Amino acid sequence: MATQSSAAAVRLQCRSEKHTENTVGLAPGYVQCNLMVLPIEYAADFISLCERNPVPFALLATSRTTGDPHTLSDTRLIKAGAESGAGDSAVPLLDLRTDLPRYNVYSCGSLIDTPNNVKDYWTESHTAFIMGCSFSFDSALVAAGLPPRHVEAGCNVTMYTTTYKLHPAGIFTEGTMVVSMRPYKESDIPRVRAITGRFSRTHGEPVDWGWDALERLGIKNLEKPDFGDVVGVRREEGEVPVFWGCGATPSLVIKLAGDKIEGHVITHIPGFSLLVDMKDDEV
Amino acid sequence: MATQSSAAAVRLQCRSEKHTENTVGLAPGYVQCNLMVLPIEYAADFISLCERNPVPFALLATSRTTGDPHTLSDTRLIKAGAESGAGDSAVPLLDLRTDLPRYNVYSCGSLIDTPNNVKDYWTESHTAFIMGCSFSFDSALVAAGLPPRHVEAGCNVTMYTTTYKLHPAGIFTEGTMVVSMRPYKESDIPRVRAITGRFSRTHGEPVDWGWDALERLGIKNLEKPDFGDVVGVRREEGEVPVFWGCGATPSLVIKLAGDKIEGHVITHIPGFSLLVDMKDDEV
Protein backbone atom coordinates (compact mmCIF):
# COMPACT_ATOMS: atom_id res chain seq x y z
CA MET A 1 0.00 0.00 0.00
CA ALA A 2 1.34 3.40 -0.95
CA THR A 3 1.95 6.12 1.60
CA GLN A 4 -1.37 7.93 2.18
CA SER A 5 -1.66 11.66 2.38
CA SER A 6 -4.73 11.54 4.56
CA ALA A 7 -5.42 10.00 7.94
CA ALA A 8 -9.09 9.51 7.08
CA ALA A 9 -8.14 7.49 4.01
CA VAL A 10 -6.00 5.19 6.15
CA ARG A 11 -8.93 4.61 8.51
CA LEU A 12 -11.16 3.64 5.59
CA GLN A 13 -8.47 1.32 4.16
CA CYS A 14 -8.28 -0.40 7.56
CA ARG A 15 -12.07 -0.56 7.80
CA SER A 16 -12.30 -2.39 4.49
CA GLU A 17 -9.33 -4.55 5.54
CA LYS A 18 -7.37 -3.48 2.47
CA HIS A 19 -4.69 -2.34 4.91
CA THR A 20 -3.81 -4.80 7.68
CA GLU A 21 -0.13 -4.05 8.28
CA ASN A 22 1.57 -1.50 10.52
CA THR A 23 1.00 2.23 10.14
CA VAL A 24 4.64 3.34 10.23
CA GLY A 25 5.13 6.16 7.71
CA LEU A 26 1.46 6.38 6.72
CA ALA A 27 -0.26 9.79 6.45
CA PRO A 28 2.90 11.68 7.40
CA GLY A 29 2.31 14.63 9.72
CA TYR A 30 -0.93 13.21 11.15
CA VAL A 31 -1.06 12.09 14.77
CA GLN A 32 -0.87 8.34 15.31
CA CYS A 33 -2.72 7.25 18.44
CA ASN A 34 -2.66 4.38 20.87
CA LEU A 35 -5.98 2.81 21.81
CA MET A 36 -7.29 1.32 25.06
CA VAL A 37 -10.86 0.02 25.28
CA LEU A 38 -12.26 -1.07 28.64
CA PRO A 39 -15.64 -2.03 30.08
CA ILE A 40 -17.18 1.18 31.49
CA GLU A 41 -16.96 0.07 35.14
CA TYR A 42 -13.16 0.49 35.00
CA ALA A 43 -13.20 3.82 33.16
CA ALA A 44 -13.07 6.09 36.23
CA ASP A 45 -10.07 4.22 37.63
CA PHE A 46 -8.31 4.32 34.27
CA ILE A 47 -8.90 8.06 33.88
CA SER A 48 -7.54 8.57 37.39
CA LEU A 49 -4.49 6.45 36.45
CA CYS A 50 -3.92 8.70 33.42
CA GLU A 51 -4.35 11.86 35.47
CA ARG A 52 -1.92 10.68 38.13
CA ASN A 53 0.67 9.42 35.61
CA PRO A 54 0.35 11.80 32.67
CA VAL A 55 3.91 11.34 31.38
CA PRO A 56 3.53 7.68 30.28
CA PHE A 57 -0.31 7.94 29.89
CA ALA A 58 -0.79 10.58 27.17
CA LEU A 59 -4.60 10.67 27.25
CA LEU A 60 -5.94 12.77 24.35
CA ALA A 61 -9.63 11.83 24.30
CA THR A 62 -12.22 9.28 25.41
CA SER A 63 -15.45 7.93 23.91
CA ARG A 64 -18.13 10.61 24.02
CA THR A 65 -20.79 7.99 24.82
CA THR A 66 -20.22 4.54 26.27
CA GLY A 67 -20.53 1.85 23.62
CA ASP A 68 -20.43 4.32 20.71
CA PRO A 69 -17.34 3.65 18.55
CA HIS A 70 -17.95 6.71 16.34
CA THR A 71 -17.48 9.82 18.48
CA LEU A 72 -14.75 11.17 20.76
CA SER A 73 -14.75 13.69 23.61
CA ASP A 74 -12.30 15.91 21.70
CA THR A 75 -13.89 16.72 18.35
CA ARG A 76 -10.61 18.10 16.96
CA LEU A 77 -9.32 14.55 16.51
CA ILE A 78 -11.86 13.49 13.89
CA LYS A 79 -12.89 16.16 11.41
CA ALA A 80 -15.80 16.13 8.99
CA GLY A 81 -14.83 17.01 5.45
CA ALA A 82 -11.31 15.67 5.60
CA GLU A 83 -9.76 15.29 2.15
CA SER A 84 -10.73 11.66 1.67
CA GLY A 85 -14.41 12.26 1.08
CA ALA A 86 -15.18 10.46 4.34
CA GLY A 87 -17.54 13.33 5.21
CA ASP A 88 -20.32 11.47 3.35
CA SER A 89 -23.03 11.13 6.01
CA ALA A 90 -23.64 7.47 5.16
CA VAL A 91 -20.03 6.63 6.02
CA PRO A 92 -19.00 7.30 9.64
CA LEU A 93 -15.77 9.30 9.95
CA LEU A 94 -14.62 6.97 12.68
CA ASP A 95 -15.31 3.40 13.74
CA LEU A 96 -12.97 2.35 16.53
CA ARG A 97 -13.96 -1.31 16.00
CA THR A 98 -12.51 -1.41 12.50
CA ASP A 99 -10.28 1.59 11.81
CA LEU A 100 -7.02 0.17 13.10
CA PRO A 101 -5.22 -2.46 11.00
CA ARG A 102 -5.14 -4.98 13.83
CA TYR A 103 -5.91 -5.19 17.57
CA ASN A 104 -4.82 -6.99 20.71
CA VAL A 105 -7.66 -8.50 22.75
CA TYR A 106 -7.04 -9.44 26.38
CA SER A 107 -9.04 -11.52 28.81
CA CYS A 108 -7.97 -11.71 32.48
CA GLY A 109 -4.65 -10.11 31.56
CA SER A 110 -3.84 -12.66 28.83
CA LEU A 111 -3.68 -11.93 25.10
CA ILE A 112 -6.38 -14.08 23.49
CA ASP A 113 -6.73 -12.70 19.95
CA THR A 114 -5.16 -10.32 17.41
CA PRO A 115 -8.02 -9.69 14.96
CA ASN A 116 -8.26 -7.14 12.13
CA ASN A 117 -11.48 -5.80 13.65
CA VAL A 118 -13.09 -6.12 17.08
CA LYS A 119 -16.78 -6.19 16.12
CA ASP A 120 -17.13 -9.52 17.95
CA TYR A 121 -15.61 -8.14 21.17
CA TRP A 122 -16.92 -4.56 21.36
CA THR A 123 -20.05 -4.30 23.56
CA GLU A 124 -22.43 -1.53 24.57
CA SER A 125 -20.49 -1.22 27.82
CA HIS A 126 -17.08 -0.62 26.21
CA THR A 127 -15.49 2.80 26.33
CA ALA A 128 -12.37 3.94 24.49
CA PHE A 129 -9.32 5.93 25.52
CA ILE A 130 -7.24 7.54 22.78
CA MET A 131 -3.63 8.22 23.72
CA GLY A 132 -0.87 10.07 21.93
CA CYS A 133 2.47 8.54 21.06
CA SER A 134 6.04 9.71 20.64
CA PHE A 135 5.83 9.45 16.83
CA SER A 136 4.52 13.03 17.10
CA PHE A 137 7.75 14.43 18.50
CA ASP A 138 9.97 12.16 16.42
CA SER A 139 8.91 14.20 13.38
CA ALA A 140 9.85 17.42 15.18
CA LEU A 141 13.26 15.98 16.07
CA VAL A 142 13.83 15.04 12.43
CA ALA A 143 12.79 18.55 11.35
CA ALA A 144 15.28 20.05 13.81
CA GLY A 145 18.15 18.00 12.39
CA LEU A 146 18.19 15.66 15.39
CA PRO A 147 16.66 12.50 13.88
CA PRO A 148 16.18 9.65 16.37
CA ARG A 149 18.39 6.71 15.39
CA HIS A 150 15.45 4.29 15.05
CA VAL A 151 13.90 6.65 12.51
CA GLU A 152 17.13 6.74 10.50
CA ALA A 153 17.42 2.96 10.79
CA GLY A 154 13.77 2.43 9.86
CA CYS A 155 13.17 0.19 12.86
CA ASN A 156 11.03 0.32 16.02
CA VAL A 157 12.06 2.51 18.96
CA THR A 158 13.93 0.80 21.81
CA MET A 159 11.81 0.31 24.97
CA TYR A 160 12.56 -0.82 28.52
CA THR A 161 10.43 -1.59 31.55
CA THR A 162 11.77 0.31 34.55
CA THR A 163 11.53 0.04 38.34
CA TYR A 164 9.80 3.44 38.40
CA LYS A 165 6.53 2.66 40.18
CA LEU A 166 3.35 4.23 38.82
CA HIS A 167 1.05 6.14 41.15
CA PRO A 168 -1.78 3.66 41.83
CA ALA A 169 -5.39 4.48 40.95
CA GLY A 170 -8.35 2.33 41.97
CA ILE A 171 -7.94 -1.26 40.72
CA PHE A 172 -4.73 -0.32 38.90
CA THR A 173 -2.28 -0.77 41.76
CA GLU A 174 0.49 -2.67 39.97
CA GLY A 175 2.82 -1.44 37.30
CA THR A 176 6.00 0.44 36.50
CA MET A 177 6.74 2.94 33.75
CA VAL A 178 7.92 1.76 30.35
CA VAL A 179 10.37 4.16 28.69
CA SER A 180 11.53 4.63 25.12
CA MET A 181 15.21 5.39 24.47
CA ARG A 182 16.92 7.54 21.86
CA PRO A 183 20.68 8.06 21.90
CA TYR A 184 21.94 11.66 21.73
CA LYS A 185 25.17 13.53 22.25
CA GLU A 186 25.23 15.10 25.69
CA SER A 187 25.67 18.53 24.10
CA ASP A 188 22.41 18.08 22.14
CA ILE A 189 20.30 17.27 25.19
CA PRO A 190 19.18 20.86 25.95
CA ARG A 191 17.78 21.17 22.40
CA VAL A 192 16.27 17.67 22.51
CA ARG A 193 14.57 18.53 25.84
CA ALA A 194 13.23 21.82 24.50
CA ILE A 195 11.87 20.32 21.25
CA THR A 196 10.12 17.35 22.86
CA GLY A 197 9.02 19.43 25.87
CA ARG A 198 6.63 21.30 23.56
CA PHE A 199 4.74 18.00 23.08
CA SER A 200 3.38 18.11 26.61
CA ARG A 201 0.33 16.01 25.70
CA THR A 202 2.39 13.22 24.10
CA HIS A 203 5.00 12.33 26.75
CA GLY A 204 6.82 15.70 26.62
CA GLU A 205 10.48 16.04 27.52
CA PRO A 206 12.69 13.13 28.66
CA VAL A 207 12.20 11.63 32.11
CA ASP A 208 15.92 10.96 32.54
CA TRP A 209 19.19 10.80 30.62
CA GLY A 210 22.85 9.86 30.90
CA TRP A 211 24.62 6.67 31.91
CA ASP A 212 23.65 7.20 35.58
CA ALA A 213 20.00 7.00 34.55
CA LEU A 214 20.30 3.25 33.95
CA GLU A 215 20.66 2.62 37.67
CA ARG A 216 17.95 5.12 38.62
CA LEU A 217 15.50 3.46 36.21
CA GLY A 218 16.58 -0.09 37.03
CA ILE A 219 17.67 -0.88 33.46
CA LYS A 220 20.26 -3.64 33.68
CA ASN A 221 21.28 -4.13 30.06
CA LEU A 222 20.91 -1.50 27.36
CA GLU A 223 21.47 -4.18 24.69
CA LYS A 224 18.43 -6.13 25.86
CA PRO A 225 15.32 -3.97 25.56
CA ASP A 226 11.98 -5.35 26.72
CA PHE A 227 10.19 -4.15 23.58
CA GLY A 228 11.20 -2.81 20.17
CA ASP A 229 14.51 -3.00 18.39
CA VAL A 230 18.09 -2.42 19.56
CA VAL A 231 19.89 0.69 18.36
CA GLY A 232 23.43 1.27 19.55
CA VAL A 233 24.49 4.10 21.85
CA ARG A 234 27.92 5.30 20.65
CA ARG A 235 29.56 6.06 23.98
CA GLU A 236 32.92 6.69 22.33
CA GLU A 237 31.31 9.52 20.32
CA GLY A 238 29.90 11.15 23.45
CA GLU A 239 26.39 9.74 23.11
CA VAL A 240 24.27 8.93 26.15
CA PRO A 241 20.90 7.19 26.40
CA VAL A 242 17.92 9.55 26.74
CA PHE A 243 14.64 8.16 28.09
CA TRP A 244 11.02 9.23 27.58
CA GLY A 245 7.74 8.05 29.11
CA CYS A 246 6.23 5.50 26.72
CA GLY A 247 2.80 4.48 25.51
CA ALA A 248 3.65 0.82 26.06
CA THR A 249 2.97 1.44 29.77
CA PRO A 250 -0.85 1.12 29.60
CA SER A 251 -0.77 -2.39 28.11
CA LEU A 252 1.64 -3.50 30.84
CA VAL A 253 -0.75 -2.22 33.52
CA ILE A 254 -3.70 -4.03 31.92
CA LYS A 255 -1.77 -7.30 31.93
CA LEU A 256 -0.87 -6.81 35.60
CA ALA A 257 -4.51 -6.01 36.51
CA GLY A 258 -5.25 -9.58 35.33
CA ASP A 259 -8.55 -10.98 36.54
CA LYS A 260 -9.46 -7.77 38.38
CA ILE A 261 -11.00 -6.85 34.99
CA GLU A 262 -14.06 -8.82 33.88
CA GLY A 263 -14.77 -8.70 30.15
CA HIS A 264 -12.52 -8.09 27.19
CA VAL A 265 -9.90 -5.36 26.99
CA ILE A 266 -8.99 -4.15 23.50
CA THR A 267 -5.78 -2.27 22.64
CA HIS A 268 -3.85 -1.24 19.54
CA ILE A 269 -0.78 -3.33 18.65
CA PRO A 270 2.45 -1.29 18.94
CA GLY A 271 3.08 0.16 15.46
CA PHE A 272 -0.52 -0.53 14.35
CA SER A 273 -2.03 2.79 15.35
CA LEU A 274 -5.17 4.85 14.89
CA LEU A 275 -4.61 7.76 12.50
CA VAL A 276 -6.55 10.88 13.49
CA ASP A 277 -7.22 14.09 11.55
CA MET A 278 -5.03 16.22 13.83
CA LYS A 279 -1.52 17.20 12.73
CA ASP A 280 1.51 16.46 14.91
CA ASP A 281 2.11 20.16 15.45
CA GLU A 282 -1.48 20.68 16.66
CA VAL A 283 -1.20 18.29 19.62
CA MET B 1 -7.39 34.50 68.04
CA ALA B 2 -10.66 32.61 68.01
CA THR B 3 -11.53 30.08 65.34
CA GLN B 4 -12.95 31.97 62.34
CA SER B 5 -16.01 30.90 60.44
CA SER B 6 -14.90 32.59 57.27
CA ALA B 7 -11.84 32.24 55.09
CA ALA B 8 -12.13 35.86 53.95
CA ALA B 9 -12.01 37.06 57.53
CA VAL B 10 -8.79 35.13 58.13
CA ARG B 11 -7.22 36.78 55.07
CA LEU B 12 -8.13 40.22 56.40
CA GLN B 13 -6.77 39.36 59.86
CA CYS B 14 -3.49 38.33 58.23
CA ARG B 15 -3.48 41.45 56.07
CA SER B 16 -3.74 43.70 59.12
CA GLU B 17 -1.17 41.49 60.88
CA LYS B 18 -3.60 40.79 63.71
CA HIS B 19 -3.05 37.12 62.91
CA THR B 20 0.56 36.04 62.43
CA GLU B 21 0.48 32.45 63.67
CA ASN B 22 -0.32 29.19 61.88
CA THR B 23 -3.71 28.58 60.26
CA VAL B 24 -4.35 25.10 61.69
CA GLY B 25 -8.05 24.81 62.59
CA LEU B 26 -9.01 28.24 61.23
CA ALA B 27 -12.12 28.64 59.06
CA PRO B 28 -12.99 24.93 59.26
CA GLY B 29 -14.23 23.43 56.00
CA TYR B 30 -12.49 26.02 53.82
CA VAL B 31 -9.61 24.97 51.60
CA GLN B 32 -6.16 25.87 52.90
CA CYS B 33 -3.68 26.46 50.11
CA ASN B 34 0.05 26.34 49.59
CA LEU B 35 1.67 29.25 47.78
CA MET B 36 4.59 29.47 45.35
CA VAL B 37 5.57 32.81 43.81
CA LEU B 38 8.20 32.91 41.08
CA PRO B 39 9.58 35.46 38.61
CA ILE B 40 7.55 35.05 35.41
CA GLU B 41 10.47 33.68 33.36
CA TYR B 42 10.29 30.42 35.34
CA ALA B 43 6.49 30.12 35.23
CA ALA B 44 6.26 27.93 32.11
CA ASP B 45 8.78 25.44 33.51
CA PHE B 46 6.99 25.38 36.86
CA ILE B 47 3.59 24.77 35.22
CA SER B 48 5.16 21.95 33.20
CA LEU B 49 6.62 20.51 36.42
CA CYS B 50 3.13 20.57 37.99
CA GLU B 51 1.55 18.99 34.92
CA ARG B 52 4.15 16.23 34.80
CA ASN B 53 4.00 15.53 38.56
CA PRO B 54 0.39 16.26 39.51
CA VAL B 55 0.31 13.98 42.56
CA PRO B 56 2.75 16.00 44.70
CA PHE B 57 2.08 19.30 42.81
CA ALA B 58 -1.63 19.97 43.40
CA LEU B 59 -1.91 23.11 41.24
CA LEU B 60 -5.32 24.75 41.71
CA ALA B 61 -4.79 28.20 40.17
CA THR B 62 -2.22 30.76 39.03
CA SER B 63 -2.10 34.55 38.96
CA ARG B 64 -4.45 35.85 36.29
CA THR B 65 -2.00 38.62 35.39
CA THR B 66 1.72 38.69 36.11
CA GLY B 67 2.51 41.01 39.00
CA ASP B 68 -1.13 41.32 40.11
CA PRO B 69 -1.53 39.88 43.63
CA HIS B 70 -5.33 40.29 43.61
CA THR B 71 -6.76 37.92 41.01
CA LEU B 72 -6.49 34.21 40.25
CA SER B 73 -7.05 32.14 37.11
CA ASP B 74 -9.79 30.14 38.86
CA THR B 75 -12.40 32.62 40.08
CA ARG B 76 -14.09 30.03 42.28
CA LEU B 77 -11.28 30.34 44.82
CA ILE B 78 -11.97 33.94 45.80
CA LYS B 79 -15.63 34.95 45.90
CA ALA B 80 -17.08 38.42 46.11
CA GLY B 81 -19.66 38.78 48.83
CA ALA B 82 -18.16 36.28 51.22
CA GLU B 83 -19.55 36.62 54.74
CA SER B 84 -16.85 38.92 56.05
CA GLY B 85 -17.96 42.01 54.17
CA ALA B 86 -14.73 41.89 52.20
CA GLY B 87 -16.79 42.47 49.06
CA ASP B 88 -16.42 46.21 49.65
CA SER B 89 -14.89 47.48 46.42
CA ALA B 90 -12.31 49.59 48.27
CA VAL B 91 -10.94 46.48 49.99
CA PRO B 92 -9.50 43.83 47.66
CA LEU B 93 -10.81 40.32 48.33
CA LEU B 94 -7.30 38.98 47.97
CA ASP B 95 -3.78 40.30 48.32
CA LEU B 96 -1.26 37.52 48.02
CA ARG B 97 1.46 39.82 49.42
CA THR B 98 -0.24 40.12 52.80
CA ASP B 99 -3.00 37.53 53.23
CA LEU B 100 -0.89 34.72 54.65
CA PRO B 101 0.29 35.01 58.27
CA ARG B 102 3.95 34.60 57.35
CA TYR B 103 6.09 33.71 54.30
CA ASN B 104 9.37 32.06 53.39
CA VAL B 105 11.55 34.09 51.02
CA TYR B 106 14.34 32.34 49.12
CA SER B 107 17.28 33.67 47.16
CA CYS B 108 19.48 31.27 45.16
CA GLY B 109 17.84 28.33 46.93
CA SER B 110 18.56 29.69 50.43
CA LEU B 111 15.95 30.91 52.91
CA ILE B 112 16.71 34.59 53.54
CA ASP B 113 13.62 35.93 55.33
CA THR B 114 10.35 34.88 57.01
CA PRO B 115 8.32 38.12 56.97
CA ASN B 116 4.62 38.67 57.78
CA ASN B 117 4.13 40.25 54.38
CA VAL B 118 6.14 40.25 51.16
CA LYS B 119 5.45 43.78 49.89
CA ASP B 120 9.20 44.41 49.79
CA TYR B 121 9.90 41.29 47.69
CA TRP B 122 6.91 41.11 45.33
CA THR B 123 7.67 42.71 41.94
CA GLU B 124 5.75 43.33 38.74
CA SER B 125 7.37 40.22 37.31
CA HIS B 126 6.21 37.84 40.06
CA THR B 127 3.51 35.29 39.36
CA ALA B 128 1.76 33.08 41.90
CA PHE B 129 0.84 29.40 41.97
CA ILE B 130 -1.87 28.28 44.39
CA MET B 131 -1.68 24.63 45.38
CA GLY B 132 -4.04 22.46 47.38
CA CYS B 133 -3.01 20.53 50.45
CA SER B 134 -3.99 17.32 52.20
CA PHE B 135 -5.85 19.21 54.93
CA SER B 136 -8.80 18.98 52.52
CA PHE B 137 -9.01 15.21 52.64
CA ASP B 138 -8.10 15.00 56.33
CA SER B 139 -11.53 16.50 57.09
CA ALA B 140 -13.18 13.85 54.92
CA LEU B 141 -11.28 11.09 56.73
CA VAL B 142 -12.43 12.49 60.09
CA ALA B 143 -16.03 12.65 58.82
CA ALA B 144 -15.79 8.99 57.74
CA GLY B 145 -14.67 7.88 61.20
CA LEU B 146 -11.08 7.36 60.04
CA PRO B 147 -9.32 10.35 61.65
CA PRO B 148 -5.62 10.66 60.81
CA ARG B 149 -3.54 10.23 63.96
CA HIS B 150 -1.89 13.66 63.65
CA VAL B 151 -5.34 15.25 63.65
CA GLU B 152 -6.29 13.37 66.81
CA ALA B 153 -2.95 14.29 68.38
CA GLY B 154 -3.25 17.92 67.30
CA CYS B 155 0.22 17.90 65.75
CA ASN B 156 1.69 18.30 62.26
CA VAL B 157 1.51 15.44 59.75
CA THR B 158 4.62 13.23 59.42
CA MET B 159 6.59 13.83 56.18
CA TYR B 160 9.50 12.06 54.50
CA THR B 161 11.65 12.81 51.49
CA THR B 162 11.77 9.76 49.22
CA THR B 163 14.03 8.45 46.46
CA TYR B 164 11.09 8.73 44.03
CA LYS B 165 12.50 10.97 41.31
CA LEU B 166 10.26 13.69 39.90
CA HIS B 167 9.77 13.98 36.15
CA PRO B 168 12.03 16.89 35.18
CA ALA B 169 10.63 20.02 33.52
CA GLY B 170 12.81 22.78 32.10
CA ILE B 171 15.16 24.19 34.75
CA PHE B 172 13.60 21.96 37.40
CA THR B 173 15.67 18.84 36.85
CA GLU B 174 16.49 17.93 40.46
CA GLY B 175 14.15 16.68 43.12
CA THR B 176 12.36 13.73 44.63
CA MET B 177 8.82 13.44 45.96
CA VAL B 178 8.04 14.31 49.57
CA VAL B 179 5.29 12.14 51.07
CA SER B 180 3.03 12.54 54.09
CA MET B 181 2.28 9.47 56.21
CA ARG B 182 -0.84 8.43 58.11
CA PRO B 183 -1.01 5.05 59.90
CA TYR B 184 -4.05 2.86 59.17
CA LYS B 185 -5.12 -0.71 59.74
CA GLU B 186 -4.58 -2.75 56.59
CA SER B 187 -8.29 -3.60 56.53
CA ASP B 188 -9.19 0.11 56.39
CA ILE B 189 -6.98 0.86 53.36
CA PRO B 190 -9.65 0.26 50.69
CA ARG B 191 -11.93 2.84 52.36
CA VAL B 192 -9.04 5.25 52.97
CA ARG B 193 -8.05 4.97 49.28
CA ALA B 194 -11.62 5.55 48.11
CA ILE B 195 -12.21 8.58 50.37
CA THR B 196 -8.95 10.36 49.53
CA GLY B 197 -9.14 9.29 45.87
CA ARG B 198 -12.10 11.66 45.45
CA PHE B 199 -9.72 14.56 46.18
CA SER B 200 -7.99 14.15 42.84
CA ARG B 201 -6.91 17.82 42.75
CA THR B 202 -5.30 17.72 46.21
CA HIS B 203 -2.97 14.70 46.08
CA GLY B 204 -5.74 12.09 45.73
CA GLU B 205 -5.31 8.52 46.90
CA PRO B 206 -2.12 7.17 48.51
CA VAL B 207 0.97 6.62 46.39
CA ASP B 208 2.01 3.55 48.37
CA TRP B 209 1.30 1.68 51.61
CA GLY B 210 2.48 -1.20 53.77
CA TRP B 211 5.82 -2.02 55.37
CA ASP B 212 7.29 -2.97 51.96
CA ALA B 213 6.68 0.61 50.82
CA LEU B 214 9.52 1.89 53.01
CA GLU B 215 12.08 0.21 50.77
CA ARG B 216 10.32 1.24 47.55
CA LEU B 217 10.25 4.87 48.69
CA GLY B 218 13.75 4.81 50.20
CA ILE B 219 12.55 5.70 53.71
CA LYS B 220 15.16 4.37 56.13
CA ASN B 221 13.67 5.21 59.52
CA LEU B 222 9.98 5.81 60.15
CA GLU B 223 10.82 7.37 63.52
CA LYS B 224 12.89 10.09 61.87
CA PRO B 225 10.72 12.09 59.49
CA ASP B 226 12.29 14.85 57.43
CA PHE B 227 9.49 17.30 58.24
CA GLY B 228 6.57 17.45 60.67
CA ASP B 229 5.98 15.50 63.85
CA VAL B 230 6.34 11.80 64.66
CA VAL B 231 3.20 9.73 65.19
CA GLY B 232 3.60 6.05 66.00
CA VAL B 233 2.53 3.24 63.68
CA ARG B 234 1.11 0.46 65.89
CA ARG B 235 2.37 -2.58 64.04
CA GLU B 236 1.17 -4.93 66.78
CA GLU B 237 -2.40 -3.68 66.17
CA GLY B 238 -2.17 -4.37 62.44
CA GLU B 239 -1.40 -0.81 61.39
CA VAL B 240 0.79 -0.06 58.38
CA PRO B 241 2.16 3.27 57.13
CA VAL B 242 0.17 4.82 54.26
CA PHE B 243 1.87 7.47 52.10
CA TRP B 244 0.46 10.36 50.07
CA GLY B 245 2.08 12.85 47.69
CA CYS B 246 2.84 15.99 49.69
CA GLY B 247 2.81 19.75 49.14
CA ALA B 248 6.24 20.04 50.76
CA THR B 249 7.67 18.81 47.45
CA PRO B 250 7.61 22.20 45.63
CA SER B 251 9.77 23.95 48.25
CA LEU B 252 12.32 21.15 48.04
CA VAL B 253 12.53 21.57 44.27
CA ILE B 254 13.00 25.35 44.61
CA LYS B 255 15.88 24.82 47.04
CA LEU B 256 17.49 22.33 44.65
CA ALA B 257 17.08 24.72 41.70
CA GLY B 258 19.39 27.05 43.66
CA ASP B 259 21.01 29.77 41.59
CA LYS B 260 19.27 28.67 38.40
CA ILE B 261 16.57 31.09 39.63
CA GLU B 262 17.43 34.80 39.62
CA GLY B 263 15.27 36.94 41.89
CA HIS B 264 13.29 36.11 44.99
CA VAL B 265 11.06 33.08 45.39
CA ILE B 266 8.22 33.40 47.89
CA THR B 267 6.37 30.44 49.46
CA HIS B 268 3.99 29.80 52.32
CA ILE B 269 5.45 28.31 55.49
CA PRO B 270 4.08 24.79 56.17
CA GLY B 271 1.03 25.25 58.41
CA PHE B 272 0.78 28.98 57.57
CA SER B 273 -1.56 28.72 54.61
CA LEU B 274 -3.75 30.83 52.37
CA LEU B 275 -7.43 30.41 53.18
CA VAL B 276 -9.64 30.54 50.08
CA ASP B 277 -13.43 30.82 49.76
CA MET B 278 -13.84 27.30 48.37
CA LYS B 279 -15.03 24.50 50.63
CA ASP B 280 -13.03 21.27 51.00
CA ASP B 281 -15.81 19.28 49.37
CA GLU B 282 -15.83 21.61 46.33
CA VAL B 283 -12.21 20.92 45.35
pLDDT score for A163: 95
- What is the rounded distance in angstroms from the CA atom of residue B122 to the CA atom of residue A96? 52
Q: A52, B204: Cβ pair inside 8 Å?
A: yes
Report the 10 Å Cβ neighbour count for B81. 11
Indicate the pLDDT class of residue A154, thresholds 50, 70 and 90.
confident
Q: What is the pLDDT of residues A203-242, one digit of tens each?
A: 999 999 999 999 999 999 999 999 999 998 999 999 999 9
For chain B, counts of helices (H) and of strands (E): 7, 11
Average pLDDT of the residues of chain A: 92
Does A206 lie at the interface with B, CB-CB under 8 angstroms? Answer: yes
- Averaged over B125-143, what is the pLDDT? 93
Evaluate if residue B29 carries a pLDDT over 60.
Answer: yes
CB contact under 8 A, A169 and B197: yes
Q: How confident is the model at residue B269 (pLDDT cuts 50, 70, 90)?
A: very high
pLDDT at B81 over 70: no
Given a cut of 80, whether residue B51 has pLDDT beyond it is yes
**Mean pLDDT across chain B:** 92
User: What is the 3-class SS of chain A, one letter each residue?
Assistant: CCCCCCHHHHHHHHHCCCCCCCCCCCCCCEEEEEEEEEEHHHHHHHHHHHHHCCCCCCEEEEECCCCCCCCECCCCCCCCCCCCCCCCCCCCCCCCCCCCCCEEEEECCEEEECCCCCCCCCCCCEEEEEECCCHHHHHHHHHCCCCCHHHHHCCCCEEEEEEEECCCECCECCCEEEEEEEEEEHHHHHHHHHHHHCCCCCCCCCCEECCCHHHHHCCCCCCCCCECCCCCCCHHHCEEEEEEECCCHHHHHHHHHHHHCCCCEEEEECCECEEEEEEHHHC
- pLDDT recorded at residue B156: 87
Note the ipTM here.
0.90
Element (H, E) at B249: helix B249-257
> What's the average model confidence in pLDDT over B157-170?
96
Q: Is A200 on the interface with B (CB under 8 A)?
A: yes
Which of A167, A193, A204 shows the shortest C-beta gap to B55?
Answer: A167
Burial class (CB in 10 A: 0-12, 13-18, 19+), B152: exposed
CB < 8 Å from A in window 159-188 of B? 164-165, 167-170
Model confidence pLDDT, tens digit, residues B229-250: 999 899 999 999 999 999 999 9
In this structure, of A4-13, A153-162, B182-191, the range with the lowest mean pLDDT score is: A4-13
Q: DSSP for B79-105?
A: -TT-TTSTT-TTS-S--TTTSSS-EEE
Instruction: Kindly state the average pLDDT of the residues A23-42.
Output: 92
List the single residue in B with minimal CA-CA distance to A51: B54
Inter-CA distances, A33 with A23, A65, A141, Å: 10, 19, 18
Task: Give the residue with greater pLDDT, B135 vs A256.
Answer: A256
Q: Looking at the complex, does the CB of residue B218 fall below 8 Å from at least one CB of chain A?
A: no
CB B33 within 8 A of CB B103: no
Q: What is the pLDDT of residues B196-226, one digit of tens each?
A: 999 988 999 999 999 999 999 999 999 999 9
pLDDT, tens digit (0-9, with 9 covering 90-100), for A69-93: 999 999 999 987 644 444 455 789 9
Among B250, B255, B256, B241, CA closest to B270: B250
Give the pLDDT of residue B1: 40
pLDDT reported for residue A41: 97
A218 — contact with chain B (CB < 8 Å)? no
**Average pLDDT value for residue range A93-117:** 97
Contacts of B169 in chain A (CB under 8 A): 197, 204-205
What is the average pLDDT across A1-10?
67
